[in-house]
Structure 1
Amino acid sequence: MRIPLAQLRTDGAARRLFNAGLLALCAIAALPGLAQAGTIRILALGDSLTAGFGLDETDGFVPRLEAALRAQGYDVTVLNGGVSGDTSAGGLDRLDWALADKPDLVLVELGANDMLRGLDPATTRANLDKILARLGQEKIPTLLAGMRAAPNLGPAYAAAFDPIFPDLAKAHGVALYPFFLDGVATVMALNQADGMHPNAAGVKAIVEHIAPAVIELIRSSGLAKTG
């Protein structure tokens, strides 16, 4: 109901009501991040493949994934938890720090450097198991991105390494994206000169492939969609 200003000058009760309402509106407007209250925070916990090694900032996996999800109408912020050269042990060591950002969903992309260094797959499995267990304790929906052993490491290493990801996804009940570099690995036109890190076109392909899995997890987890 609109109260005439002349009445406000003489009606003490109405004036107090008006002032209380004004203060409440000011308090609401002052709340930090209110406009972003519905934003889904996605943590990409990984290595150089997540960090965007060798790429312009806008061409990395994190900004490209965020742009792709926003283009589909999802109000998201993708947090770059990638550290170049990181192993599964490094990801585990900094997990607490990464979770301080309070993500609503986590994409785990670790293990490539373990494989490239020829580390014992049992150690990689144990580290990823601990990461997924912690995320489970926090009840954070998780997408585990798989990796595959390079052929030069031999069939015995691949037999121990490759099953880590589907095994752990099943054990912890998390979503699995079988191979992070699907369609990009070994394709020279999609990789930088080192043959291991995707170029801008390679990142674009990775995002096109993995985005539907991220969207499916957003939906199945009941996280908000806007658009």
Structure 2
Amino acid sequence: MNRRRLRFWLLLVCFAISLSSIARAAAHEPLVVCFGDSITAGHGLDPSQAYPVFLQHDLASRGYHYRVINAGVSGNTTKDALDRLPRVLGLHPAAVIVEFGGNDGLRGFPLNVTERNLGTLVGRLRAAHIPVLLAGITLPPNYGQDYIHQFDEMYRRVAQKYHVPLLPMLYAGIYNLPGTIQPDGIHPTAKGSRLIAQHLLPLLLPLLHRK
């Protein structure tokens, strides 16, 4: 009986040590921060259906041991992003996906202000030696072709200036697929979020190290 109890307690101790080791390893995993607005936050979805969660799964399945942090806040503009940037820098991430600008455009903010904010955001991350992946978005057709073209080009100019990879349009090849966009016509469904993660992955992997 004593031997059985001893064996039981030894198994419990070993299990506890194993869990502790896993927790320490997870705590020391480098971070990928998905820094954005409602698209990143997963507006209208269960938290498990936002694209950063799918990105976490995709990285792990390829042997990349990173912890993906969802730093998306619905309604955020590029100005809000600058206000939140110190907290992101404080995480000392291994890489940051920047997804902002859509709310600026929908609210009709001057493009030069949005571009300046976006450039400052990317520039400060790069000055901290943090690799950045810039994700762009476009605007509904009723905003006019000229304004939309200038809005789209804004992302290209920022990416070129700071030499960061760019996914020009998060919804490229997604928006017209059935079941990928919520009824509001703006935010992705779980299916859409999964596809966004798949589109970001090839641009993100070169910024990371496989262990």
What are the ranges of 5 or more consecutive residues in structure 2 without an aligned counterpart? 1-19
- With 205-214 and 34-43 compared, the bigger mean Cα shift is at 34-43
Q: Which residue of 2 aligns with 1:206?
A: 196
The answer on 1:72 being equivalent to 2:62 is: yes
* Separation in structure 1 between the aligned mates of residue 109 and residue 189 of structure 2, nearest angstrom: 26
Change (3 A) 1:175 1:123: same
Q: Which residue of 1 aligns with 2:44?
A: 54
- What secondary structure, in the 3-state scheme, does the structure 2 residue paired with 1:119 have? coil
CA contact (8 A) 1:109 1:146 kept: yes
CA contact (8 A) 2:31 2:94 kept: yes
Q: How does 1:180-219 map to 2 (within 5 A)?
A: 180-218=170-208
What percent of counterpart residues are identical?
A: 37
Deviation at 1:36, TM superposition (A): 4.0
* Separation in structure 1 between the aligned mates of residue 108 and residue 171 of structure 2, nearest angstrom: 19
CA contact (8 A) 1:186 1:195 kept: no
Q: Give the ranges of 4+ consecutive aligned residues of structure 1 lying more than 3 Å apart after TM superposition.
A: none
Q: Which one scores higher on RCO, CA 8 angstroms, separation ≥ 6? A: 2
CA contact (8 A) 2:40 2:99 kept: yes
- What secondary structure, in the 3-state scheme, does the structure 1 residue paired with 2:179 have? helix
CA contact (8 A) 2:26 2:67 kept: no
CA contact (8 A) 1:118 1:153 kept: no
Larger Rg: 1
Q: Which residue of 1 aligns with 2:134?
A: 144
- With 77-86 and 183-192 compared, the bigger mean Cα shift is at 183-192
RMSD: 1.9
* Separation in structure 1 between the aligned mates of residue 36 and residue 115 of structure 2, nearest angstrom: 15
Aligned counterpart in structure 2 of residue 120 of structure 1, from 100, 105, 110: 110
* Separation in structure 2 between the aligned mates of residue 54 and residue 98 of structure 1, nearest angstrom: 24
Aligned residue pairs, count: 191
Deviation at 1:188, TM superposition (A): 4.9
Deviation at 1:206, TM superposition (A): 1.1
1:146-169 per-position Cα deviation (integer Å, ceiling 9, x unaligned): 122321100221132111111111
The answer on 1:99 being equivalent to 2:83 is: no
